[in-house]
Amino acid sequence: MNRYEKAAAAAVALMLAAAGAIFLYAPGDALQGPVQRIFYLHVSSAIAAYGCFAVVLVGGIIYLRNESPAADRFARAGALVGVVFTTVTLVMGMLWAKPIWGSFWTWDARLTSTLVLWIIYAGYLLVRRLAEPGRQAARIAAVVGIFGFIDVPVVHFSVTWWRTQHPGPIVVNNALPAEMLATFLFTLACTLVLAAVLIAIRYRIETLLDAKVAIAEPAKLVSAQQPEAAP
């Protein structure tokens, strides 16, 4: 078992421990009932997504400054993992909204801005997939990733900037009992570890893909320079 497999196994074990805390340690909510337990993973996934997109931001800035391939690979890895966690955030939010609001979706400021965030970084990944690998694609994607991060504070502060259906920041306002707060903080820590491990694994994959492209490019160049055989 290599270090990536060990890290992945540890991250999975932590998430299972977090699930145990959510369902066995945290008390039930008197108003919302069992559906309130979605909160722990929902909010933790959102914060993990913020962290992933911060990796894209920093990686993009570094790449635009010195064209570091490592920074570009970290940005690509962070974007993919961030989109995964944003998807989890949206799905968990919809599962919570149906029994509480009576609808899976409403064009609330928090929900809408989160969807926009998902679209921005899904577009980032689409640019990387469709564009020819190289300096130009990396620079365009870096700009998208940097400007896309503007939506992160919009998502985070939307419930305080506008009147929304979405609940306010209950953690900051000390609205959680001690057991719920401890469960949330533990789940958050486990989710952040999972995000870091996924980024590390994806970075390794991106490194191997870059190496494959680097090997293939000279072969294409030699093939293009060879004269066609006479009929």
**pLDDT over threshold 90, residue 10:** yes
What residues are paired with 29 via a beta bridge? 33
Least confident stretch, 17-26, 102-111, 138-147: 102-111
Number of domains in the chain: 1
Domain presence at residue 171: no
71-117 pLDDT, tens digit each: 999 999 999 999 999 999 999 999 988 888 888 888 888 889 999 99
133-142 pLDDT, tens digit each: 778 888 989 9
Domain presence at residue 39: yes
Domain presence at residue 183: yes
Domain presence at residue 172: no
By CB atoms closer than 10 A (0-12, 13-18, 19+), residue 165 is: middle
Candidates 106, 9, 121; CA nearest to 59 is 121
**pLDDT over threshold 80, residue 195:** yes
Domain presence at residue 173: no
67: left (phi over 0), alpha (psi -120 to 50) or beta: left
pLDDT, greater one: 117 or 32 = 117
Query: 139: domain range?
Result: 3-165+178-225
**pLDDT over threshold 90, residue 62:** yes
Tokens of 179: 């057991």
Domain presence at residue 109: yes
Q: Is 131:137 a contact under the CB 8 Å cutoff?
A: yes
Q: What is the DSSP string of 67-95?
A: --HHHHHHHHHHHHHHHHHHHHHHHHHHH
